Amino acid sequence: MLNYLWKNKNIRKTEEISDIKNSSLFKLTWPIFVQTFLVMSLGYIDSIMLSNYSDTAVGAVGNANQLLGFLTLAFSIISSATGVIISQYLGAKLKEQINIIYTVSVTFNLLLSAFISIIIFFGSGALLHFMRVPAEMFNDANKFIEILGGFIFIDAIFNSFTQIFRSNGKTMIGMVISFGMNVLNIIGDYFVLYGPLKYLKLGVEGVAISTTCSKIVGLVIALVIFNKFIDGKISIKYMRPFPKDIVIKLIRLGIPTAGQNISYNISQIVVTMFVNTLGIVAITTKIYSNLLSNFSYLFSLSVGIATSIIVGHAIGDKDEPFAYKRVMKTLQIAIIVAILIATINFLISSFTFKLFTSNKEIINLGEKIMLITILLEFGRSCNLVIINAMQAAGDVKFPTVLGILSQWGFSVGIGYILGINFHLGLVGVWIGMALDEVVRGILLLIRWKRGSWKNKAVTY
């Protein structure tokens, strides 16, 4: 892996930072697409490897990952803002404070995530009880969270480096590291579940250990690559005198930016609580449906992230018309591709669900969910592209407020009414989530076309 990166001319440290604003969208997008798929797969690999081991174990890991996904958002407050500020500063050719931004991002995320790791390790049981995880899944879910949650600071630091790599236009780096992490995780999962170590009967605990070890290796490689390929440094000396202005900018951008994601994940935890009352069939179907439907939005997410890099550099260069046109062009592609993938996903769902289970109730329910997902992906593609662009431009408050109102009004509110009160079960819950994405996507598109996001850059 390191040998490949060392030889790749496109990511050498000695190169000057190119005019990323005019970079090929495809050049930036495809490594992000692959990396996002691999990062997503890192969690799903555990569920796939466990699917032939135990349906109960799959449900336990699914619930645990839902909680861990939410808790990791606490340190996204800084890392998400890091990408915005670095892109704008590089676009404006203001490089003198870049090292301070790098140092603040990594340091704050390390301290915050270490605190969260302690909370998770000692409070995982109470958190799972709050989520109403079924008794038969509780012990496995608790073991999984204790191990991965205890090392959650690894994710926090790695996220900071990912933002740094991407903002410098070096999206290839994260992709290669993530590939290596997945290979190690698959090997580790196989060893503890079906291979030479299966006699230890570690089950979910072994899978958690395997995933953690792969993340540790990934972080070590990221540290080495940062020093080799990125024109910048991380040092405690940049914290003296305390960089108050940079910290304030990171917090002002980071809290609203992360706020929307935090709200979304809290709402999804509440939705999961609803589903946990519907029985094992609904719980397992939700997990498998998420696994399949997430591939529908992968393209939109990747293009959205790549576009945000370009928009950030364009805003730093004070070229707002260019940013507007690039986003509108990207949005058209994202919507078409997302709907196409979602439709194909629905058409083959009777086959794909059989890859995970032979339970006919789960397969039949899954087909209905994948049909609703076609509508959901239309709205989600708008959200992923426009929200990333708005955040890159410095317009972070409106998407957050809109997200909170829509997520809780539709995903939670309508989902509960249809799913629980009207006894539509998981179908009703999914309709609520689809309405959230569609309504929010349309409103965000209106705001982008009106240009309300302009003149909000941190470099102005």
Q: Answer yes or no: do 180 and 286 share one domain.
A: no
Q: How far apart are CA 342 and CA 242, in angstroms?
A: 49
Q: Is residue 460 part of a domain?
A: no
pLDDT for 7: 54
Q: Answer yes or no: do 90 and 196 share one domain.
A: yes
Per-residue confidence band for 43, with pLDDT thresholds at 50, 70 and 90: low
Asked if residues 82 and 160 have their Cβ atoms less than 8 Å apart, the reply is yes
Q: Answer yes or no: do 255 and 283 share one domain.
A: no
Give CA 325 to chain center in angstroms. 26
Q: Which amino acid is at 299?
A: F
Mean pLDDT computed over 394-402: 90
Reduce the DSSP state of residue 180 to 3 states and report it: helix
DSSP 78-139: HHHHHHHHHHHHHHTT--TTHHHHHHHHHHHHHHHHHHHHHHHHHHHHHHHHHTT--HHHHH
Q: Is residue 326 part of a domain?
A: yes
Q: How far apart are CA 76 and CA 156, in angstroms?
A: 8
Tokens describing residue 71: 């808790």
Report the 10 Å Cβ neighbour count for 2. Answer: 13
Q: Answer yes or no: do 128 and 230 share one domain.
A: yes
- Give the residue carrying structure tokens 């059989």: 354
b or e along 367-394 (b: 16 or more beta carbons within 10 Å of the residue's beta carbon)? bbbbbbbbbbbbbbbbbbbbbbbbbbbb
Asked if residues 15 and 228 have their Cβ atoms less than 8 Å apart, the reply is no
pLDDT in tens, 24-35: 888 888 898 888
pLDDT surpasses 50 at 98: yes
pLDDT for 250: 83
Q: Is residue 6 part of a domain?
A: no
Mean pLDDT of all residues in the chain?
85
pLDDT for 8: 55
Question: Looking at residue 14, what DSSP letter applies?
Answer: T
Q: At what angle do helices 426-450 and 280-316 cross, to 10 degrees?
A: 10
In which domain, by residue range, is 242 found?
Answer: 18-261
CA distances from 431 to 49, 298, 437 (A): 30, 20, 10
Query: End of a domain among 232, 261, 290?
Result: 261
Q: Answer yes or no: do 256 and 323 share one domain.
A: no
Q: Answer yes or no: do 222 and 300 share one domain.
A: no
Per-residue confidence band for 1, with pLDDT thresholds at 50, 70 and 90: low
pLDDT higher at 456 or 348: 348
Q: Is residue 4 part of a domain?
A: no
Question: Whose CA is closest to 222, among 39, 80, 73, 392?
Answer: 39
Q: Answer yes or no: do 257 and 300 share one domain.
A: no
Q: How far apart are CA 23 and CA 310, in angstroms?
A: 8
User: How many residues does the structure list for the chain?
Assistant: 460
- Total domains, the chain: 2
Tokens describing residue 257: 């930016």
CA distances from 72 to 26, 155, 158, 159, 404 (A): 29, 8, 12, 10, 18
Mean pLDDT computed over 43-64: 73
Q: How far apart are CA 227 and CA 102, in angstroms?
A: 12
Q: Is residue 22 part of a domain?
A: yes
Asked if residues 403 and 440 have their Cβ atoms less than 8 Å apart, the reply is yes
Q: How far apart are CA 113 and CA 116, in angstroms?
A: 5
pLDDT in tens, 157-194: 998 899 899 988 888 999 999 999 989 988 988 888 88
Q: Answer yes or no: do 213 and 304 share one domain.
A: no
Q: Is residue 354 part of a domain?
A: yes
Question: Whose CA is closest to 208, among 269, 160, 142?
Answer: 142
pLDDT for 190: 85
End-to-end CA distance of the chain: 40
Q: Answer yes or no: do 249 and 387 share one domain.
A: no
- Give the residue carrying structure tokens 């972070």: 396
Can you give the three-state secondary structure of 251-270, one letter per residue?
HHHHHHHHHHHHHHHHHHHH
Q: How far apart are CA 433 and CA 409, in angstroms?
A: 10
Give CA 443 to chain center in angstroms. 23
Asked if residues 100 and 246 have their Cβ atoms less than 8 Å apart, the reply is yes
pLDDT surpasses 50 at 15: no
Query: End of a domain among 261, 288, 313?
Result: 261
Mean pLDDT computed over 410-431: 94
In the chain, helix, strand, coil percent, each to 5?
Answer: 85, 0, 15
| Cα dihedral 129, 135, 137, 143 sign | positive
Q: Answer yes or no: do 153 and 208 share one domain.
A: yes
CA distances from 420 to 9, 131, 264, 267, 412 (A): 56, 16, 20, 16, 11
Q: What percent of the chain has pLDDT over 70?
A: 94
pLDDT surpasses 70 at 52: no
Question: Whose CA is closest to 291, among 55, 62, 31?
Answer: 62
Q: Is residue 313 part of a domain?
A: yes
- The whole-model pTM stands at 0.79
Q: At what angle do helices 171-193 and 204-229 cross, to 10 degrees?
A: 160
Q: Answer yes or no: do 199 and 285 share one domain.
A: no
Asked if residues 197 and 61 have their Cβ atoms less than 8 Å apart, the reply is no
Q: Is residue 273 part of a domain?
A: no
Query: End of a domain among 192, 227, 261?
Result: 261
Per-residue confidence band for 426, with pLDDT thresholds at 50, 70 and 90: very high
Q: Answer yes or no: do 289 and 213 share one domain.
A: no
Mean pLDDT computed over 444-457: 90
pLDDT higher at 12 or 282: 282
pLDDT higher at 421 or 57: 421
pLDDT surpasses 80 at 60: no
pLDDT surpasses 60 at 18: no
pLDDT in tens, 235-287: 888 888 888 888 888 888 888 877 787 788 789 889 988 898 888 889 888 88
Residues contacting 318, CB < 8 A, separation 6+: 92, 457, 460
Question: Looking at residue 202, what DSSP letter applies?
Answer: -
